[in-house]
Amino acid sequence: MKRYLWLVPFIILSVILTGCNMQNMLGNLMGNKEKTSSKSSQQQEEKKIIAVALNEEDPNKAMFLLGIQEMAAKEEIEVKVLTEKELGDSEALKEAKILIYQDGEQSFLKDAEKNDIPILALNSLPPGVKAQGVILPDPNQVGTLMAQQIQGRISEGQVVYLQGESEDPLAQTSLAALKQESGKNSKITIHSFANPPESEAIAIQGLREHLQKNPGQVKVICAQNEKLASQAYELLKSLQLTEKIYLMGGQANPKSLQRIASAGQIADIDTAPYVQGVNALQWAQKIINKESIDITQSITGDQGEVAAKIIPVKSVTAENLSLIQKSYTKAAQAQKELEKKQEESQEKSAGSKGDKKSKSNGDGESSGDEKNSKSKEGDSQSQEQEGASSQGKEGSHGVMPEGVKKVTEKVHTEITREYLDEQGKVLGIEKSANDQVRTIPPEMLLKEQQKQQDGQQGQQGTQGTQGTQGEKSSGAEKSGNKKS
């Protein structure tokens, strides 16, 4: 034994060194965990939220929104779509880095200005506010394409242009381009009718009076937007002039495309709403990241010059109708599928909350059963009653805490888009994902909570009946064993 005593110091030293190494390893692991947690918290702080306010009555709302959402999914940016439910809500624009606004409820514009949130206009320039930029269809090209379609149909006569809002700079530019291009033929004259905001009926009334005073003179009617085009079409039908006067629109949409298909309209202008949405999202991202923007064009509004991204447009006629119609139909279907998936996700989220609550209640019951098995029958019954009472109290606050005024949900959706030729052959497949924050009315969750509580009470009653029967049967077995 004495021969090996000299090894003892080396063994002790080895143990000490090993312990130090273990401490270093543990320290490194803890440090890595802290770095990971700090990194994840930093990512949450750098979360980019873009608020979007669209005109609910715009016939191409689905196209605008689809372009925004699909690009946001690719760039991993969260989009919050504002609806009428958020009107007057001071928290509607909370955490939003920028607002993409497309003609609609102006209260969102005022809230954005009040909170110093940059505004990026889409499709038109909103009045009364200073936007950082605007994405819009080429107004010069709109007027020029209208004139070209007119020249291919008539050689002389009057053309009536329904301008829309008199102060709209885009409509003014389109009218100027229409007059300039049509001026090549001195036998064609242009008459225009404008109207105050949200008062298209005034322009239609002016059109009616002009048609009555100039019977047989008007050959073509051009409308700046779908509201004016649809009302003009109804007026021509009522006057039985649909076969004598050509109708042309300036905002292609599913309804106007259907009129072209049924020969109720000769042409329209595809303003590329999907492409506008994509460009709006890209521009908004650059504003958030404070990146340089290569924009050389501008448009003059009531607040001065505003940087403008001009999107090319194209004519829609019976010749290319089927191709354009397919793209609009697919976009509408894709938007419906997206909304359906969002609703399903909300239902699953609400259901998962209910499952978690039921599971927690179930765990409480099992622990209560273990305690009851160690107590007398009288004590066990009182404990079961107390457990059921405590579960009821927990259920009342499990889903909806007290004082809640607003509930939001994060929704993740995936879209698969297929590009088909005329024969239906798949030419390409595109997949994208999207994350959104949705607002849920607290009243709806309260109703779901009440249903869950009712179901739990029924389950508890069933379990109590089964427990009583089990106690009776176990008592019978014990008495039988004693007799034996």
Q: DSSP letters along 235-276, please?
A: HHHHTT-TTTSEEEESS--HHHHHHHHTTS-SBEEE--HHHH
Question: What pLDDT is stored for residue 392 in this prediction?
Answer: 38
Mean pLDDT value of segment 300-306:
85
- Residue 438 pairs in a beta bridge with 409
The DSSP code for 85 is G
Asked if 425 and 448 touch (Cβ cutoff 8 Å), the reply is: no
pLDDT at 245: 97
Measured between alpha carbons, how far is 68 from 66 in angstroms, rounded to an integer? 5
Return the SS3 of 405.
Answer: coil
Question: 126 Cβ partners below 8 Å, 6+ apart?
Answer: 101, 103, 106, 109, 119
418 membership: H or E segment, kind and range: strand 407-420
Report d(CA 235, CA 243) in Å as an integer: 13
pLDDT in tens, 227-247: 999 999 999 999 999 999 999
* Model pLDDT, residue 443: 67
Instruction: Quote the crossing angle between the two packed helices 442-483 and 377-398, to the nearest 10°.
Output: 170
Query: E strand or H helix at 182, and its extent?
Result: helix 169-182
Higher pLDDT, residue 31 or 450: 450
Cα 215 off chain centre by:
48
What was the pLDDT predicted at 457? 61
Better-predicted residue by pLDDT, 291 or 12: 291
Higher pLDDT, 122 or 85: 122
pTM for this model (two decimals): 0.64
Structure tokens at 271: 């303003």
DSSP string, 341-379: HHHHHHHHHHHHHHHHHHHHHHHHHHHHHHHHHTS-HHH
pLDDT tens-place string over residues 339-397: 777 677 767 766 665 565 555 455 544 444 444 444 444 444 444 444 433 343 333 33
129 — pLDDT class (breaks 50, 70, 90): confident
Residues of the chain with pLDDT > 70: what percent? 63
| Phi, then psi, of 218 in degrees rounded to 5 | -80, 125
Q: Is 445 within 8 Å of 480 (Cβ atoms)?
A: no
pLDDT at 327 over 60: yes
Torsion of CA 183, 188, 189, 192, to 10 degrees: -90
d(CA 233, CA 19): 88
d(CA 307, CA 299): 7
Q: What is the dihedral of CA 345, 346, 348, 351, to 10 degrees?
A: 180
List of residues 6+ apart from 212 with CB closer than 8 A = none
State the residue for tokens 């102060």. Answer: 167
Name the nearest CA neighbour of 192 among 166, 160, 148. Answer: 160
Can you tell me the distance from the alpha carbon of 449 to that of 260, in angstroms, rounded to the nearest whole number?
51
Tokens of residue 200, six digits? 């298209």
Domains in the chain, please, with CATH?
Answer: 49-137+275-313 (3.40.50.2300), 139-271 (3.40.50.2300), 327-461 (no CATH)
- Mean pLDDT: which of 10-14, 195-199, 363-367, 419-423 is highest? 195-199
